[in-house]
């Protein structure tokens, strides 16, 4: 206590407050004692009621003073602040309230259970169980009976019959996309690319801090587009097989010349075989159809090159080819082939290195 300046200050203040109260108490006590000694017998009989009241008041004052002294002594012995004492009392009060609330809850629960047991009739339960067993005995399909999981997922009543159960929501499925490990190491996310934010390379209305991604459609600008111009038509029949012919349109989406070759597929999953010529076909670069008429349609690439007999017509970046198909089916045809493309330099009349691509094509069409 001598080392703590706060306790010394508090004890000094307490002594200053206690000293005047003790002096007043002793002064009043001595004053009343002197008055009682000076009074005569007659005065004693006359003022007996007043003296008793004064004595009672002084005794109560003395008792209050003793209580205050004991309370201060206890607080000094504990060595704690009044706030900590108040927190302890609050914690005790909280514990008492929790225990009392638990007793109230248990009482209410017992009353509910007792009322439920008294209202439920055993005869009705037996009849209901017998009817349920009879209905289940008539079921021959086990899938019509609900299992525990289906009954637990039912929000209201857990029926034994699947038809009476409420339909529950199907589980959500997460969408997964495969990514190339090499492209991920390089920092690219496979088919996801950052959008163009430069006015010269894309849409200028996009936000400049473009950290989001979009799906890349680069394959559309590199792989030739093949469509039907004329559906397969029957040409002739030989024994059990039939011959058909069809016309395909091949469009070059790139801005460069390409050399294109159609090749047979060793594994043919369709019901028809196609007759192909492996002579290279040369297709010009893509041009905007709105301004294509402003330039001459000169095809200088075919000069001195062998013409593929399957070509029906060609111009700019479009080529029409006629294919012969043999099949035993009369209604629909399914066939396929390989397409190999290489970028072509028209000035040097040679292929551009490291530009070769090869992809399969599968076509299905009804007979016209």
Give pTM, 2 decimals: 0.42
Length of the chain: 368
pLDDT value, residue 216: 61
pLDDT at 339 over 70: yes
pLDDT at 321 over 90: yes
pLDDT at 189 over 60: no
pLDDT value, residue 1: 47
Least confidently predicted of 85-89, 179-183, 242-246, 262-266 = 179-183
Rank 74-83, 87-96, 190-199, 207-216 by mean pLDDT and report only the highest. Answer: 87-96
pLDDT value, residue 261: 92
What confidence category does residue 275 fall into, taking pLDDT thresholds of 50, 70 and 90?
Answer: confident
Averaged pLDDT for residues 20-48: 61
Bridge partners (DSSP) of residue 242 are 237, 327
Residues 6 or more apart in contact with residue 222 via CB below 8 angstroms = 253, 254, 357
Give the residue with greater pLDDT, 297 vs 225. 225
- Cα 141 to chain centroid distance, Å, stands at 38
Averaged pLDDT for residues 181-193: 62
Whole-Å CA distances, 294 to 284, 289, 297 = 16, 10, 9
Question: 154 phi and psi, to 5 degrees?
Answer: -70, 130
Averaged pLDDT for residues 220-230: 83
pLDDT at 278 over 90: no
First to last CA, the chain: 112
Q: How far apart are CA 194 and CA 210, in angstroms?
A: 7
DSSP codes of every residue in 220-274: GGTSPEEEEEEEEEEEEEETTEEEEEEEEEEE--SSS-EEEEEE--SS--SSEEE
Q: What is the pLDDT of residues 46-99, one digit of tens each?
A: 556 566 666 676 677 777 777 777 776 776 666 555 667 777 777 887 888 788
pLDDT at 229 over 60: yes
Helix (H) or strand (E) holding 324: strand 318-327
Give the residue with greater pLDDT, 85 vs 275. 275
């Amino acid at each position: 206590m001598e080392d703590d300046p706060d306790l010394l200050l508090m004890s000094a203040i307490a002594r200053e407050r206690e000293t005047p109260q003790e002096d007043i108490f002793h002064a009043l006590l001595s004053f009343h004692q002197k008055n009682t000694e000076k009074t005569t017998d007659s005065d004693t009989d006359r003022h007996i009621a007043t003296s008793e009241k004064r004595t009672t008041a002084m005794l109560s004052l003395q008792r209050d003073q003793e209580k205050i002294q004991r309370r201060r002594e206890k607080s000094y012995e504990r060595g704690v602040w009044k706030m900590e004492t108040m927190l302890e009392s609050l914690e005790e009060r909280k514990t008492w309230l929790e225990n009392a609330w638990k007793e109230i809850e248990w009482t209410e629960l017992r009353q509910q259970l007792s009322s439920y047991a008294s209202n439920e009739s055993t005869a009705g339960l037996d009849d209901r169980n017998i009817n349920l067993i009879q209905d289940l005995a008539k079921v021959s399909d086990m899938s019509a009976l609900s299992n525990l999981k289906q009954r637990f997922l039912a929000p209201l009543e857990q029926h034994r019959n699947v038809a009476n159960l409420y339909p529950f929501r199907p589980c959500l499925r997460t969408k997964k996309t495969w990514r190339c490990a090499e492209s991920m190491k390089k920092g690219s996310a496979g088919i996801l690319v950052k959008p163009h934010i430069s006015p010269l390379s894309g849409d200028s209305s996009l936000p400049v801090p473009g950290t989001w991604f979009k799906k890349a459609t680069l394959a559309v600008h590199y792989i030739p587009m093949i469509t039907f111009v004329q559906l397969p038509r029957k040409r002739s029949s030989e024994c059990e097989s039939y011959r058909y012919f069809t016309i395909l349109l091949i469009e070059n989406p790139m801005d460069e010349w390409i050399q294109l070759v159609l090749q047979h597929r060793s594994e043919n999953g369709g019901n028809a075989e196609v007759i192909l010529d492996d002579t290279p076909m040369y297709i010009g670069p893509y041009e905007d159809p709105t301004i294509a008429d402003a330039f001459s349609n000169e095809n200088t690439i075919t000069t001195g090159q062998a013409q593929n007999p399957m070509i029906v017509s060609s111009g700019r970046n479009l080529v029409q080819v006629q294919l012969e198909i043999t099949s035993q089916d009369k209604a629909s045809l399914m066939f396929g082939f390989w397409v190999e493309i290489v970028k072509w330099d028209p000035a040097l009349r040679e292929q551009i290195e490291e530009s070769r691509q090869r992809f399969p094509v599968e076509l299905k069409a009804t007979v016209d």
